[in-house]
Structures are given as structure tokens and as C-alpha cells.
Amino acid sequence: MARYRGPRLKKCRRVGMVLPGLTTAGALRRPTPPGVHGQRRTGKQSPYKERLMEKQKIRWHYGVLEKQFIRYVKEASRQKGPTGRNLIALLERRLDNVVWRLGIAPTIPAARQLVVHGHITVDGKRVDRPSFQVKVGQEISVREKSKTKSFIQDALGASAARVRPNFLEFDPAKAIGRMTAEPEPEDVPLAVNMQSIVEFYSQKL
């Protein structure tokens, strides 16, 4: 499975903000773009670059490669309703994102590793596919054999103070969560212009 393995804060500096799914850093020590000439790169951005940066924000946050992201955009455009809202629902319902939003992992890459290694179950069945689409009413939990592992215990201990979106509920004592509603655009944990993303791909699909 292809995935980004490079420096995460470099990606955050490129878009000018912390991407909560990518890193646990609270703020950027150097808010300028990466590179030798990063501090000199000031001035007004073109409309194309503004749309590009919005797309990169959401793609890097969820850890989705370009080819897969295009498939999500195509699927969102085929569904009923606004494309931006549908796209958010598809991304937020990814199993690796749900595991992260529940507080079982500190970042989405860490949640993806838990899923791939078979530590997560959906409705009692082990699922090792990070892109699995969680449906309303489904139960997400840590596999019984995995609950005794130290990194799982540490994550569950820290999850008590985690702020969760309205569409999820979680019991840290039992390590069981549930999706109670469809994700909404306001549930995205970062500021992003979904209309700009739709416009970016409007001539490419």
C-alpha cells in the first residue's frame, strides 16, 4: 500500500497550517513555506494555487494519494446532493479516520497502522482495510486480544480528554465506539473550502 513517509511538518508548512490528522503538533514553529527561499515566497496567490492548496490540505490531512482522491471526487459527484458535502462524508467515514476521531490513535497514519495490523473490528469482525466505509449504526472496537497491548492502553487513557465529533460516540472503558449519524462538513477538524476543491476538479473529471 503506497503512502507518504516523508516529513509531516513540511507538508503542514506548505499549506500554512497544522493538519491535525497528520501530526500531533499544536502549532508551527516556522509558519513559512519549506525550502531555502520559503521566507521570500510572499504575495498574492493565483486562483489556481488557492484551489490547489485547499485540495492538498484535505488530501494530506486524510492521507489519501491523488489517484484515490480523484476516485472519491468522482463518486461524490455521482451521489445525490452537493459534491463537497458528499466528499466530506466519504472521507470522514474511512475506517482509519474514524479510529483516529474516536481517540484510539494519535494520528491518522497511526490509526491506519492499527487497522492494517488487524487490531480493529467493525461489528465484531476484523477489518484490515483503512479505506473501509463505516456506516451509520456500525460498531467500531479494538480487538479483544489487542486491548492488553501497552500502546493501545496508552491511547485509550489519553482518549478520555479527546473532543469527538457529533456523529461518533465512544466508551473508553470498553474501547467501543459507534457511528450515530452521517458526517457533516462542519465536522471537519480544519478550515477548508470544499467549493474550491470541487472547482479544482471540475474540468478534470
C-alpha to C-alpha distance for 38 and 71, rounded to whole angstroms: 32
Q: Report all structural domains of the chain as residue ranges with CATH numbers, in order of start.
A: 8-35+45-90+192-201 (1.10.1050.10), 94-182 (3.10.290.10)
Kindly report the backbone phi and psi dihedral angles of residue 6, in degrees, each rounded to the nearest multiple of 5, phi listed first. -80, -170
Q: Which amino acid makes up residue 146? A: S
Helix, strand, or coil here: 177? strand
Give the three cell numbers for residue 119. 487490531
State the pLDDT at residue 7: 76
Q: Which tens digit of pLDDT belongs to each residue from 122-140?
A: 999 999 999 999 999 999 9
DSSP 8-state secondary structure symbol assigned to residue 25: -
34 versus 143: the higher-pLDDT residue is 143
Give the three cell numbers for residue 123. 461489528
151 versus 161: the higher-pLDDT residue is 151
State the pLDDT at residue 1: 47
- Among residues 88, 161, 149, 90, the alpha carbon closest in space to that of 118 is found at 149
C-alpha to C-alpha distance for 128 and 124, rounded to whole angstroms: 13
Q: Which amino acid makes up residue 160? A: A
